[in-house]
């Protein structure tokens, strides 16, 4: 059956259709409702995917910012620790020098 024949069947009143035409009529209506349902589900899925991608981008940016922030924090702590260690070693050497010199 061609598309134009199916279209002509759909234009007829349901009561005037033969059994074969009724099968075609309800098959086409079933396909139309399935297509409509699948289209709605696809749009919903696309919307959810877009939302999740947006959230993922935000999380990635936030994670990158935190990584950079923590990297600088680690370097700051490392520098402060080195300064404290240097000061401690300086005190130890001054005390050792004073002790050894008499």
pLDDT digits (tens, 9 = 90+) for 51-97: 888 888 888 877 787 777 788 888 888 999 999 999 999 999 999 99
pLDDT of amino acid 84: 94
Distance in angstroms (rounded) separating the CA atoms of residues 2 and 13: 19
Res 2: pLDDT: 61
Residue given tokens 């070693």 in the structure block: 89
pLDDT tens for 13-26 read 667 777 777 777 77
CA distances in angstroms from 89 to 18, 70, 78, listed in the order given = 103, 28, 16
pLDDT tens sequence across 25-42: 777 777 778 888 888 888
Residue corresponding to tokens 């234009």: 11
- Predicted pLDDT of residue 85: 94
The CA distance from 89 to 54, in Å, is 52
> Tokens 């990635």 map to which residue?
60
Q: CA 19 to CA 29: how far, in whole Å?
A: 15
d(CA 86, CA 94): 12
Q: Is the pTM of this model over 0.85?
A: no
């Amino acid at each position: 059956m061609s598309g134009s024949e199916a279209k002509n069947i759909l234009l007829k009143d349901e009561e005037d259709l033969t059994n074969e035409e009724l099968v075609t009529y309800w098959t086409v209506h079933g396909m139309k409702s399935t297509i409509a349902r699948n289209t709605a589900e696809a749009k919903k899925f696309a919307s959810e995917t877009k939302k999740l991608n947006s959230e993922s981008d935000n999380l990635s940016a936030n994670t990158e910012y935190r990584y950079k922030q923590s990297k600088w924090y680690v370097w700051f702590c490392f520098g402060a620790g080195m300064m404290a260690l240097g000061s401690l070693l300086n005190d130890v050497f001054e005390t050792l020098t004073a002790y050894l010199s008499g």
